[in-house]
Amino acid sequence: MAQPLLTGCALCATLGKTCCQSREILVTEGDKSRIGELTGEQEVWEYARANNPDYLDQDDDPNWLAWAFRPDGTRPILKRQPNGDCRFMSSTGCVLPLEVRPLVCRLYPYSYTARGLDGVSDDCPPEVIPPGRTILQVLDVRQADAIRWHSLLYTELRTKEPCDADRADVRPAA
């Protein structure tokens, strides 16, 4: 039997270059709930400070820091596997159904602010994009879905859980 042709995130996963391996994945209360309902697991996330200082440079989105971070400088992110991959990453990509994935994952490769979608990131490796196609076509990300997910992301960010800076699951700054 022939192996299926891998494209997009699944191909990227075989190359070992996915954003799921190099970025921390912010999760909202809604993301936690959706993932928990599907997996039966509630502790798939932790509070952590941003490892990449660029993540804190949000001059174009002044509410991002207030909505995504707690006063102690941490924010909820998905836990990682021992090798550093997102806990839901497999050799063929994400194991979560699209409508359960964290909103920031669903929105990728769009860049955005509270005002809306800004454009498309050029972070994807060129070898996952066949000639004559765009990354949006490869990933099958429809703008209407991205607009809906963007709206939901900012709604959920504005309604985050109350701060509890003394929680034991806060990782120290690197």
**Contact (CB, 8 A) for 110 and 121:** yes
The helix/strand/coil state of 148 is helix
Please give the tally of structural domains in the chain: 1
User: Distance between CA 41 and CA 32 in Å, rounded?
Assistant: 9
The greatest distance separating any two alpha carbons of the chain, rounded to the nearest whole angstrom, comes to 54
CA proximity to 72, closest of 171, 156, 142, 174? 171
User: Distance between CA 71 and CA 65 in Å, rounded?
Assistant: 9
AA letter at 25 = I
User: Distance between CA 146 and CA 9 in Å, rounded?
Assistant: 17
| Domain encompassing residue 99 | 8-158
User: Distance between CA 39 and CA 95 in Å, rounded?
Assistant: 11
User: Does 167 fall in a domain?
Assistant: no
Q: What is the pLDDT along the chain (174 residues), one digit of tens a residue?
A: 444 455 567 777 777 667 777 788 999 999 999 999 999 998 899 999 988 877 777 778 878 888 999 999 899 999 998 888 888 988 777 889 999 999 999 998 898 999 999 888 877 777 778 888 888 887 788 899 999 999 999 999 988 655 444 333 434 344
User: Does 96 fall in a domain?
Assistant: yes
User: Does 40 fall in a domain?
Assistant: yes
pLDDT of residue 116: 92
AA letter at 79 = K
AA letter at 40 = G
User: Does 120 fall in a domain?
Assistant: yes
**Contact (CB, 8 A) for 89 and 21:** yes
What is 31-97 written as a DSSP string?
Answer: HHHHHHHHHS-S-SEEEEE-SSGGGG--TT-TTHHHHHS-TTSEEEEE-B-TTSSBTTEETTEE-S-
User: Does 170 fall in a domain?
Assistant: no
User: Does 173 fall in a domain?
Assistant: no
User: Does 165 fall in a domain?
Assistant: no
pLDDT of residue 3: 47
pLDDT of residue 168: 39
**Contact (CB, 8 A) for 71 and 163:** yes
pLDDT of residue 128: 78
User: Does 164 fall in a domain?
Assistant: no
pLDDT of residue 161: 59
